Amino acid sequence: MQTGQLTPRILYVIGQLHSGGSERQLYYLLHEMDRSRYRPAVVVWNLSEADKYVGEIRRLGVPVYCFPGPLRPSAKLMNLRRLVRRLSPEIVHSFSFYLNVAVHWSVRGTPAIALGSMRSALYLDKQVNGWLLGKVSARWPRMQIYNSYEAARCADSSNTPFVPGRRIVVQNGVDLRDFRFTPLALRQRAQVLGVGSLVRVKRWDRLLNAVVVLRRRDLDFAVQIAGDGPLRESLETKADRLGISDRVVFTGHSDRISRLMAEATFLVHCSDAEGCPNVLMEAMACGRAVVATDVGDAAYLIEDGKTGFLVPRADDEALVERIQALITDFCLCKRMGEAGRAKAEREFSVDRMVSDTFAAYQSTGWANA
């Protein structure tokens, strides 16, 4: 394990530090907190030195710990427990759902406060992580910070014991300096943007099917989908088969999402499940209208008809009609985008996310002075 600062007050545990939404939120939190006061450190369950946020977090002066060599999960769990005892942090906060129970176990017999995380849809995280790990990570630690009001509502209404005893919602934040407002340029051809991993739950097939209908209506538009994942080849094949490769381009992973949004007319997000989707907040911060399925916290982020459109997840016809409305009405795109930026400035700032996170810590009885 890396040596470094030996007395962190807060220890964050995360699965990896690539370019995902959870990693970005952790970086924002570390960047904006008073690091000299709280002395944070990070433990990475599966570290790759090439991952985007490894170097960025180290440049903040935050120690990054990892486990040497290929180890079984049980060996990593023992190493985490030993590390917690050696560093004696006051708070150990899991930033990856599947590591919740590891954090819970690592603090047993110490004064440290354990907190878990729920950063997606409750049922999806349980399903993805398997029957046993999904259940125990949903229950322990007994206090968890959710990034989604919808996930918390589902936990509140659940009849299973496999939910935490206490849930606090802290929605994600957006760096308004990076995702800054860019006036919408009038173009003859509307530029439709999609951003996200190319995985089944994101349902990019819905957008491809919508493109087929919109193309038949002789509308002038192009679609760019930024992201990578296991379905890229099959989605590109589907676009070819549908005869829409002239309208849809898959650009792969990008670290310049704010620039892509500045070049777009509006954003489309057609997922089947979400927590608090960063991409909707980021698009609104850039002054772009959004069309999104009503999953996760989309309904809390989007004011339907004002900052964008919400469509029922299973209503493909509504998705087509809302996309068409924005393709054909520049003034509507502009008006919604400006309203979205105003909402982002009021509600989506990183400062608000950091303040809410530390309020959650304080609610545990932690003496943070």
Residue 38 near residue 70, CB atoms below 8 Å: no
Residue 124, pLDDT score:
74
**CATH numbers and ranges of domains, the chain:** 10-173+349-363 (3.40.50.2000), 190-347 (3.40.50.2000)
Residue 258 near residue 178, CB atoms below 8 Å: yes
Residue type, position 70, single letter: P
Distance CA 299, CA 305 (A): 12
Give the bridge partners for 44, in sequence order: 14
Distance CA 188, CA 340 (A): 23
Which residues, 6+ apart, have CB-to-CB distance to 258 below 8 Å? 178, 179, 180, 282, 286
Cα 96 to chain centroid distance, Å, stands at: 11
What letter would DSSP give residue 364?
T
Residue 3, pLDDT score:
44
Cα 74 to chain centroid distance, Å, stands at: 28
Distance CA 71, CA 180 (A): 42
Phi, psi of 244 (to 5 degrees): -125, 15
Give the bridge partners for 192, in sequence order: 223, 266
Distance CA 194, CA 243 (A): 19
Distance CA 289, CA 318 (A): 16
Residue 63 near residue 87, CB atoms below 8 Å: no
Distance CA 329, CA 120 (A): 33
Q: What is the 3-state secondary structure (H, E, C) of 197-219?
A: CCCHHHCHHHHHHHHHHHHHCCC
Which candidate, 93, 52, 3, 54, places its Cα nearest to that of 256? 52
Q: Give kind and range of the element (H or E) at residue 93.
A: strand 91-94
From first to last of its 369 residues, the chain has per-residue pLDDT tens of 444 455 899 999 999 999 889 999 999 999 999 999 999 999 999 999 999 999 999 999 999 999 887 899 999 999 999 999 999 999 999 999 999 999 999 999 999 999 999 988 777 777 777 779 999 999 999 999 999 999 999 999 988 999 999 999 999 999 999 999 999 998 889 999 999 999 999 999 999 999 999 999 999 999 999 999 999 999 999 999 999 999 999 999 998 999 999 999 999 999 999 999 999 999 999 999 999 999 999 999 999 999 999 999 989 999 999 999 999 999 999 999 999 999 999 999 999 999 999 999 999 999 876
Q: Considering just the CA atoms, what is the radius of gyration of the chain in Å? A: 21
How many alpha carbons fall within 13 Å on the CB side of residue 115?
A: 27
Distance CA 251, CA 258 (A): 15
Counting every residue written for the chain, the total comes to 369
Distance CA 337, CA 26 (A): 27
